[in-house]
Structure 1
């Protein structure tokens, strides 16, 4: 039975687990083959709530690893719209100012939609939107090293602020909201975002799905 309904694939795991690299690699390697109408990628980080009403001091205090930091209802709404063939305007989030920008990203529905983020499985309504659920299982010590390397370069943060946030929110929230939801995954991937066997297996699955559409 052929269907034009998008197949939505979630890629989740701890912060700096390699989930973004995994999803981006799938997207980059299949885009030339499937074309812009064939595959797209959405980042959960885009749906951090607007904090324009807060001072910078208060924005910094936000627990960005708690489900309440995200507007999951809007992401769920957007995935429903894309599933119906409609287009959506995805928010743009700035890590340096800790709030949304005025610009949005217009996204049309595609046959394959990749969604990556840390808390995709924490919301039942959102979780039910995913046809395939992938969990990137990476040891936390490796995640911390990667997070320090990333945030000092890409987000202009100090090592002290990164480690403090890791100890007070990132690690506790992982144990409370991310790791407990691993059983919802259809596939658990080890060795982070560079697991070529897992990447090739998902690419093969996507090709199989495309043949049925």
Structure 2
């Protein structure tokens, strides 16, 4: 389908519960590392109108590919009044609310998508397996490691001007420093990219607005 006619998402309130195609194989917040990787790819790839899920937790009971607890509503008190989310120090939700839209790795990729808007994918790289990287014009660069070994590569092009950039997955740009990892891009556009299997996230992303 043409990108202008496409709505793209990783999960929604139906297939989270095994309704429709996919059954219990739909990727959700319950597998956070892969879920963040999938959202990063969706938001980083120049295709379609993206939709980010925001949901709540419930105990699942799977039988024949169907969640038998699919009727469970949002967090509530003993009188079935919906309980509002609480907010943790990092901005994420508590009180049984997942609030995927408040995950740093997801909302920072929304900014990545906005920064890279109007550009196409270019300078694709992969290792012939499950490590990939690509640019969005000269606005952004994304790398994903879904292999069982570390990604440690000096890649030929990040497509960004020389400088130091904050990885917006492991942290954010905070004034003149990075709260997570940083990437140094040389005058030739090359940069050393590292995503180890021990990290919480299998993604690295930098963009024009994350430059120090």
TM norm. shorter chain > 0.5: no
Larger radius of gyration between Structure 1 and Structure 2: 2
For Structure 1 versus Structure 2, the TM-score category normalised by the shorter chain is under 0.3
TM-score normalised by structure 1 residue count: 0.25
Q: Whose relative contact order is higher, 1 or 2, with alpha carbons under 8 Å and at least 6 apart?
A: 1
TM-score normalised by structure 2 residue count: 0.25
